[in-house]
Amino acid sequence: MAILVCGGAGYIGSHAVYQLVKAGEEVVIIDNLQHGHRGAINPAAKFYQGDIRDAKILDQIFTENKIEAVIHFAAYIEAGESVEKPLKYFNNNVYGMQILLESMVRNGVDKIVFSSTAATYGEPEKFPIEENDRKQPINPYGESKLIMEKMMKWVSRANGVRFVSLRYFNAAGAVEDGSIGEDHHPETHLIPLILQVPLGKRDHITIFGEDYPTPDGTCLRDYIHVIDLADAHILALKYLREGGASNVFNLGNGQGFSVKEMIIAAEKVTGQKIKTEMGTRRAGDPAQLIASSDKARKILGWTPQFADVEKIISTAWTWHKNHPNGYGD
Ligand code: UDP
């Protein structure tokens, strides 16, 4: 039986496929290649180019392949953009989930691992954030992912589709062999943008606000390596295969790094001075997001391998140095 990976040509999806293939799983990918890259598609996987909002192609995939479970990464992910274009996010993320779940129910597929986010919490009430803490998203991106979780909860009760929702904090880095990595157009994420300065692709990095209630005034984030995230999906799959009930897990390292600290860490990794400029706050950014991942450690047996932020940045640096134009598509 195969695993269907929705969004398997994207950043986190392609790393999950990499780890799934390494673990001997049979993988089928659906990706519309709007943000995914042809070059990120694992040659060991069967690939369908299509959109998860298209019920026909989903039914075709479930008919042509024996799909045991779905891992769902296919969604828009930019908090800032979602504030400007909420309907774009509700259409792709929420409506996409609707069509996917309908097709899964129709085709008798009863397990799904979902790519959720720390953005479901909004401004956290306490640190580190635990799964049952208040969820009050402050941008449509986080709201859309929270709605998607709720859809799975009700479908799980009514139709017996069990789910594991993984709330990632800040995904970063690349597989150590440098074969795949992060490549967004336009790039909005902090680490790739910082690394564009030593690559000579940008003059400086703009810090989005230094008036936050944090020690150095810049936002704190919990950076977690993409391979550690990928491994959590494999453990979630195992959990569901062993009959585990629907569940939600945070995935982070449990340590917050400020924007300024990340720039200093990148200077150490690259050996180059990185020019900065002070900008204003970006809409939809909470001051800090730091995870408690105790539940994932206890129940899934998850142990992140890349706890060190310089190590995480160095894997990203290897990818970007060798692929200054990303996948070049
Ligand atoms: N950030 C920044 N300058 C940039 C890009 C991001 O200061 O050019 C900040 C952003 O405000 C946030 C942190 O870096 O506090 C991480 O942002 P990113 O977009 O990487 O991830 P997010 O936290 O939005 O998921």
CA 299 from chain centre, in angstroms, equals: 21
Q: Please tell me if the CB atom of residue 83 comes closer than 6 angstroms to any atom of ligand 1.
A: no
Question: Is there an atom of ligand 1 within 6 Å of 207 CB?
Answer: yes
- CB of 282 closer than 6 A to ligand 1? yes
Is 287 close to ligand 1, i.e. is its CB under 6 Å away? no
Tens-binned pLDDT, residue by residue, of the chain (329 aa): 999 999 999 999 999 999 999 999 999 999 999 999 999 999 999 999 999 999 999 999 999 999 999 999 999 999 989 999 999 999 999 999 999 999 999 999 999 999 999 999 999 999 999 999 999 999 999 999 999 999 999 999 999 999 999 999 999 999 999 999 999 999 999 999 999 999 999 999 999 999 999 999 999 999 999 999 999 999 999 999 999 999 999 999 999 999 999 999 999 999 999 999 999 999 889 999 999 999 999 999 999 999 899 999 999 999 999 999 999 98
Query: According to the model, what pLDDT value does residue 329 have?
Result: 84
Kind plus residue range of the DSSP H or E element containing 266 = helix 259-270
- Tell me the CA–centroid distance for residue 190 and ligand 1, in Å: 5
Asked if omega into 192 is within 30° of 0 (cis), the reply is no
Radius of gyration of the CA atoms of the chain, in A: 19
CA–CA distance from 57 to each of 1, 63, 127, 306, 316 (Å)?
Answer: 19, 10, 43, 37, 34
> What is the distance in A from the centroid of ligand 1 to the CA of 68?
36
Question: Does the annotation mark 18 as catalytic?
Answer: no
